[in-house]
Chains A and B, each alone.
Chain A
């Protein structure tokens, strides 16, 4: 059912009555729709106002509240000056783009700086994003205290080199995984590879090299050994990326709670 309660019906009725009469967006009404999360009515109202001044700004805020990064940036480009005049919306957008998103780089490189320099929070968030891209050029003391431990963890993970992990795994099976901090994975790899190796050696000792069992066991050992080296290399990349995303997510949560978004 479209109208689940009388407020929704009244909102819809208000949209129908007001849309044809006024060319300007009613910001108070949009604020009401946004606060009460009346998504359908909100979209219907803004949809009927397309072309009026301020609609792209309101649509950008709408796509920030109900996330759609592509449409947000499209509407932001149309009325970027108006959007940047709203410090609350800029901070909210920066907080949102701290979360993993393909458009995050575009926002922080091309759009975020358009906001006035006195938007302290926006500058802080931009610095946090920059720190994630260049961890060794950032002083950890410039970041908020609550995020420093996450950042140090990320710095630690960023310093790990995949080729060193692969070489370690080639020398001692699983050592590359220990190098990146996966203790359980190291233990399992070392134990299972030793077991398969011992089995291969035993079958070679008893049956000789030509026996099918020896060939299977040694083939299994060689495959597992190659997978272990490849896995260490791949795992280093994955772990670094994962810790980076966790750091950015924690930063996003921190700013989200600290500066509660007011859609008005």
Chain B
């Protein structure tokens, strides 16, 4: 099958990002688990390694059968696994903006979920930590946030 130039470039880019990703994960699972136990890797990091594409088990039928849900969550998943890892993005929040958007869409549907995610994105600047109480900051100085309030 003949591919046109932009499509082949995109595929090449995806393949390269996968290659870099694979190099980072080169040590065996035993080594990773030993390193995790030694360093004491936190739960959020472990969860970030095993991100799920979609979890609509508890969602209502409107969310389940809305194609826009799949599109938005798919875009977030692509961002997390391709873009975010390349730019080594660091977030002020315990749950990152993209993860928050994904989970909010799963929980509340496309409109409210997107608004919640965008609200977190617009509130993500360095001084934001000072507008939270002490107990709302975690040990690693990140703002503790939750999908369900």
Q: Beta-carbon contacts of B105-145 to A below 8 Å, as 1s and 0s?
A: 00000000001101100110101101111111000000000
Contact assessment for B135 and A185 in the assembled complex, using a CB-CB cutoff below 8 Å: no
Looking at the assembled complex, report how far the CB atom of B102 sits from the nearest CB atom of chain A, in whole angstroms: 17
Q: Contacts of B123 on A, CB cut-off 8 Å? A: 185, 231, 235
Q: How far is the CA of A227 from the CA of B116 in the complex (A)?
A: 8
The contact of B127 among A184, A230, A231, A242, by CB within 8 Å, is: A184
Which segment, of A23-31, A77-85, A121-129, A243-251, faces chain B? A243-251
| A148 CB–B CB distance under 8 Å | no
User: Contact residue range for chain A?
Assistant: 20 to 34
Q: Name the distance in Å between B143's Cβ and chain A's nearest Cβ.
A: 10
- The answer to the question of B149 belonging to the interface, with a C-beta cut-off of 8 Å to chain A, is yes
Contact A184 B118 (CB under 8 A): no
Do B149 and A227 have beta carbons less than 8 Å apart? no
The answer to whether B115 touches A246 (Cβ under 8 A) is no
State whether A223 touches B125 (Cβ < 8 A). no
CA distance A258 to B118 in the complex (A): 44
Whether A230 touches B119, Cβ cut-off 8 Å, given contacts A184-B125, A184-B127, A185-B128, is yes
A-contacting residues of B (Cβ < 8 Å)?
115-116, 118-119, 122-123, 125, 127-128, 130-136, 149
The 8 closest A-B pairs by CB, nearest first: A231-B119, A246-B133, A184-B127, A227-B118, A230-B115, A182-B131, A242-B133, A249-B135
- Report which A residues bind B (CB closer than 8 A): 181-185, 188-189, 192, 223-224, 226-228, 230-231, 234-235, 237-238, 241-243, 245-246, 249
The contact sample of 18 A-B pairs, CB cut-off 8 A, is: A182-B131, A184-B125, A188-B122, A188-B125, A188-B127, A223-B118, A224-B122, A227-B122, A231-B115, A231-B122, A231-B123, A235-B119, A238-B149, A241-B149, A242-B133, A242-B136, A243-B133, A249-B135
